[in-house]
Homo-oligomer: A and B are copies of this chain.
Amino acid sequence: MADGSPTGRLTGPLHVIGAGLLGTSLGLAARRQGLEVWLSDVNPEHVRTAVSLGAGEPAPTDGVAQLVVVAVPPVHIAEVAVAALATGAVVTDIGSVKAQPLEQISDHVDEADLARYVGSHPMAGSERSGPLAASASLFDGRPWAVTPHVHADPDAVTLVEELVALSGASAVRLSPVEHDLAVARTSHLPHLLAVLAAGQLTDAVPEHLSLSGQGVRDVTRVAAGDPDLYGQIIRANAGVVGELLRSLRGQLDELIDAVGAGSSDDLVEILNRGVSGTRIIPGKHGGAPIETGPVYVLVPDHPGELARLFGDIGEIGVNVEDLRIDHDPGRLVGLVELQVEASAAERLRSALEARNWTAHR
């Protein structure tokens, strides 16, 4: 379908604009499926690297792709998408915010071209960036939001959802506005609260941080993300995020009152609301949260010990839902927290102790 008119069947060529981590990974995933992939980037070095990794070929100067994927930084998405729509191709972008680019694109193209634009957002990434960090499996098993606007061509939507499936991700269809509300609550607001939790540590007496446990590490981990990138993402969703932050200020005021109140009722009610929040996050594989229980195991901190532990766990036949190595000061021993189905926790603990592991729940 070299003229790019949508058919809903993804046959290529696929043109990825922006050969960074996501664009190059997408090229690798598409090549894995035998699709013809064109790559371009304002930085020719990125294209050379992506091509050398097998993510595709440099984009020809003429020729029209069936599907163009705009994988550039948030601030450049609209201009690049508008240019791509002018070629007659179906166009998607993979930016983290969807309403603002749609609005900007709508201002510059007619309805016929706009029908070929379908925004999307893969829930995938890495602490590293650039084509060298790319992987064909980056999207495997991740949710990937597909956010058609009301005038989107249904075949164009199907084409983008074929791209999602081809990359190994799971399509989640939402309107652009719904998407931005969703990520504001599930990503942007938690990120900013982690930033506040981490930021106030910089005011602490350094010695006091020796009392840091796994809790503060978990709460603050995402705050280590690239400030420039997150700055662009959050500002592109500034309306929704600002509104949620203002309502959060109201909740913070309630919390301040509750902490200082004569009775603990209000504070406990707020804490209970937090417990409810942790329970409604979808569990592994998007299903209902699995009721898990922890089993803690003491593991000498050198290579091979984890192998021995998981060898035993495999023989015991209990599936590990989640795990973490706790960081313990002063001793060269790791405390591994295994989360297993609650009903299996006691069996695992006793079976591990029978194999001479120090384990407790």
Contacts and interface: CB of A to CB of B under 8 A. Distances in A.
How large, as a class, is the contact surface on chain A?
A: 35 or more
A251 interface: yes
Interface stretch (A81-89, A100-108, A111-119, A310-318): A310-318
A306 interface: yes
A193 B196 contact: yes
Contacts of A216: 186-187, 190, 281
Chain A contact residues: over half helix, strand or loop, or mixed? helix
A48 interface: no
Contacts of A208: 174, 178, 181-182, 185-186
Copies in the complex: 2
B284 A327 contact: yes
Contacts of A235: 259, 264, 267
Interface string A294-319: 10101001111111111111111111
A304 B296 contact: no
Given A205-B182, A317-B303, A172 B210 contact: yes
A73 interface: no
Contact of A196 (B136, B251, B293, B309): B251
A232 B196 CA distance: 24
Interface stretch (A4-12, A39-47, A55-63, A331-339): A331-339
Interface string A132-175: 01111110111101000000000000000000000010101010
Contact of A306 (B189, B308, B313): B313
Chain B CB within 10 Å, residue with most, of A193, A208, A227 = A193
A271 B224 contact: no
A94 to B, nearest CB: 14
A270 interface: yes
A181 B202 contact: no
B330 A141 contact: yes
B360 A135 contact: yes
Contact of A211 (B186, B251, B313, B318): B186
Chain B CB within 10 Å, residue with most, of A196, A232, A301, A309 = A196
A2 interface: no
Interface in A199-226: 199-213, 215-225
B268 A228 contact: yes
A186 B215 CA distance: 8
A286 interface: yes
B224 A201 contact: no
A138 to B, nearest CB: 6
A293 B128 CA distance: 9
Nearest 6 Cβ contacts at the A-B interface: A286-B329, A135-B360, A198-B277, A307-B314, A195-B274, A141-B328
Given A191-B219, A200-B277, 15 more contacts: A128-B293, A128-B294, A172-B211, A179-B211, A183-B211, A186-B211, A190-B197, A195-B274, A201-B277, A219-B222, A231-B264, A231-B267, A231-B271, A249-B249, A308-B314
